[in-house]
Amino acid sequence: MHIKRYTIASFIWIALVAWYVYAYVTPEAYLLDLFGIHLPALSIALLVVLPIFVLYVASVLHMWFYAFLSSFKLRKYEKDYEKIIDAIVEAYLGKVNRHYEFKTDRYKLLGLLLENTSIAPRKDFAGTTNNEKIDNILEILNKIQSGEVVDLKPYNLLPENELVIANELNKYKNGSKSAEKILSGGAKYADSLKKEVYKDFVKEASLENIVRYKEYMSTEALNRIFSRINADQNRLEIPNEKLMELINAQELSKEDFISISTTLSTSDMIPEQRIKLFEMLSEKNDDAMEAYLYTLYDLEMVDLAADILNLASEDEYKNFRAYKALKECGQNFDIKMFI
């Protein structure tokens, strides 16, 4: 019951009781004597309603106390609700090390789950939640996904954050930020962003700049560099020493070396340079030997390939030994079938 309504009802009741006693029971007054002290005479009607008034005061204090406790508990829920909204926002933003202190058990559970969960809205979600914070984040996500650039500074996101990377890529693609600015930006930009930009950078960059940012090398970037060797457009003339420097800028497997050789087979690199390159690579890295053999057979340097196989253990390079045996029998197969 609302205290205001209760008060009005109580005073009406007190007034009715006082009126009834005074009008129908007795209008007399009673002289009080308290420890020998004579108090003014009080109406008997007033004395009758006095306990009712005391009961009213006590009940109001009781209701006020529990209303205060209830409002305090409600404030906890309201604060936790705001924190859970912030937790959802940070989860949508992809923040790491998210943590909030919740006062209520139910929100503690939800908070714990959100701290240890990665969530994202569906890409086709275009509705509204009627919550300003969440709706703002949804709008930002939709803009970034559609290729627009947004201001993420108020959210204090790390350079490695996926949204930051996507937003910076949008800046790069729409021309508001150059590849070299990103590559030379140090810790301001994530390495994954630099590697992505470097793939485009090597299409037209000079050899000096390609080598300068070689730490962001990838297999795709290498292939694009190879496609420029002695090409008609964006031509690159690269000595083998520089090529080795670029190739060794990343960890490569046997399959990667073979992939490099197959890519170079379609480039304009002269055969002598290609053979020498893989000879040098095989001397530095045993994983490049199969790519060297593939290169020799691809360029019909069968005698040199046979010399390498004769010096190797019989358990090594069985696929190339099979190709050699078939070729000696007059059978011609594509060397690519043996890699």
Return mean pLDDT, the chain: 87
- Position 176 in a domain: no
Domain count, the chain: 2
Last residue of a domain, one of 84, 113, 142: 113
What is the C-alpha separation between 147 and 213, in angstroms, rounded? 26
- Position 140 in a domain: no
What is the C-alpha separation between 47 and 29, in angstroms, rounded? 9
- Position 98 in a domain: yes
Domain enclosing residue 224, as ranges:
217-339
Query: Which element (helix H / strand E) includes 211?
Result: helix 207-212
- Position 168 in a domain: no
pLDDT of 269 over the 70 cut: yes
Last residue of a domain, one of 113, 129, 144: 113
Close Cβ partners of 281 (under 8 Å, ≥ 6 residues apart): 244, 247, 257, 288, 291, 292
Q: Read off the pLDDT of residues 234-254 as tens digits, 9 standing for 90 and up.
A: 888 889 999 988 988 888 888
Provide the sign of the torsion angle of the four alpha carbons 204, 206, 207, 212, taken in this order. negative
Last residue of a domain, one of 70, 90, 113: 113
- Position 148 in a domain: no
Q: Read off the pLDDT of residues 291-321 as tens digits, 9 standing for 90 and up.
A: 999 999 888 898 898 898 888 888 888 888 8
CB neighbour class for 17 (10 Å; exposed up to 12, middle 13-18, buried from 19): middle
Q: pTM higher than 0.75, yes or no? A: no
Claim to verify: residue 221 and residue 338 sit in the same structural domain = yes
What is the C-alpha separation between 293 and 264, in angstroms, rounded? 14
Query: In which band, very low, low, confident or very high, does the pLDDT at 205 lie, cut at 50, 70 and 90?
Result: very high
- Position 182 in a domain: no
Distances (CA, A) of 319 to 165, 265, 303, 338: 43, 20, 17, 6
